[in-house]
Amino acid sequence: MRFSRGKAPAVFAALLALLAAGSLRHSSAQARRSGYRTALPHPEEDASQKIETDGEGYSLEYGFRNFNGDKLRVEAELSEEAVADSVREFGFRKSDLDKLDKWYQQSQREAIAASQRDSFSGKVEAEDQAELDRKLRELKARNAQVQKRLEETLAGLAAEYRKRRVALYSDAGFRFKNEGVVQADIPAMVRRNASRVAPVSKSFAAMAEEREYGVEELVGAVSAMVQTALRYEIPADRAGTKVTGGVIPPPKTLVLGQGDCDTKTALLASVLRNWPNLKMVGLEIPGHYLMAVHRIPRKGEVFIEYEGLPFVMIESAGPAWLAPGTVGDATRTYLESGNEFRIQPM
């Protein structure tokens, strides 16, 4: 099923050897399979997670079943630094916004005060009416110039304020949509965290080589892990004093073992981004976030077109076990309604 009403806004040697162009081939194992098995009765029963820490890092073990029926297990080590850095750089504090607002208001007051000092107001004296008229014209022109300079100064301050506010949000991992509306920038989060979750990608790369997986089965395996081995939990909008918008960075998601649609999509895309030739996009629809990967869709699979290429859709949220190309009922209903959705290149 095709949908094309989207609107664009917008590691190491062993791993790279597997991730390079063409290295994930259509293998003989893949050729023997006729497609995904979607009739397994309880794939969630194969889902498991074991997360341990020694204070310096984290040992992760996730169990799940791939859509081809393989029961899989992924193990990886994440450093404490990677997790801490991902948390530190994401989110903003109200105090940061208050400080910026204070600067803006003070600058406005200072500009207005300077304008008032330069403007003339008071009694005008003259010897005759002609002199009075001349002085009034001069003062009117002078005050008009002062007012013009004030308006230009205030406009410049407004532009600088907006620029600084957008930069504050961007540095914190957020995107400024419009006045009063910001949201987590998932593509930026993916770019920032792909290298931090590379140990997980490396584990999947080793698995793919051992099992002779092609690209499709690899993407399915990572998707199945994210959907079922990580619990579906909606994060809080804040983490301590920081506003996080209900999103958790990928390394932190792995050590918590949970997340919701945008949090899990960020994780899935971050792991897959370590395959540099795999094209991905994020899809934002009201109240939901999912992604899509570039490949030729099979009959009946849900896909979109972006820049003339097909991208097969993936529901990351879980806990439903949905193979790439299959979406939830709410997503399908929205897409079939013909409403626009936002495509964000990753």
Name the band, by pLDDT with cuts 50, 70 and 90, for residue 213.
very high
Q: Looking at the predicted structure, is the pLDDT value of residue 331 above 60?
A: yes
Which pLDDT belongs to residue 140?
87
Indicate the range of 11-25, 43-57, 208-222, 279-293 predicted with least confidence: 11-25
Which pLDDT belongs to residue 11?
35
What digits encode the pLDDT tens for the residues 138-174? 888 888 999 999 999 999 999 999 999 999 999 999 9
Q: Determine what percent of the chain is predicted with pLDDT higher than 70.
A: 87
Q: Looking at the predicted structure, is the pLDDT value of residue 68 above 60?
A: yes
Indicate the range of 23-32, 100-109, 127-136 predicted with least confidence: 23-32
Contacts of 311 (CB under 8 A, 6+ apart): 279, 280, 281, 292, 293, 294, 295, 303, 304, 305
Higher pLDDT, 123 or 41: 123
Which pLDDT belongs to residue 199?
98
- Averaged pLDDT for residues 328-345: 90
- Averaged pLDDT for residues 16-31: 37
Which pLDDT belongs to residue 29?
38
- CA dist 205 and 59 (Å) reads 18
Here the tokens at position 162 are 């907006």
Angle at 46 between CA 40 and CA 49, to 5 degrees: 150
Q: What is the DSSP letter of 66?
A: -
Which pLDDT belongs to residue 3?
53
What digits encode the pLDDT tens for the residues 33-54? 334 544 445 667 789 999 999 9
What digits encode the pLDDT tens for the residues 232-245? 999 999 999 999 99
Here the tokens at position 291 are 């992604």
| Strands, E assignment, 234-302 | 238-239, 242-243, 258-259, 280-285, 288-294
Instruction: Supply the pTM of this predicted model.
Output: 0.84
Indicate the range of 71-75, 90-94, 175-179 predicted with least confidence: 175-179
Q: What is the mean pLDDT of the chain?
A: 88
Q: Looking at the predicted structure, is the pLDDT value of residue 247 above 60?
A: yes
341-345 and 309-314 as β-strands: parallel, antiparallel, unpaired?
Answer: unpaired
Taking the CA atoms of 25, 28, 32 and 37 in sequence, report the sign of the dihedral they define: negative
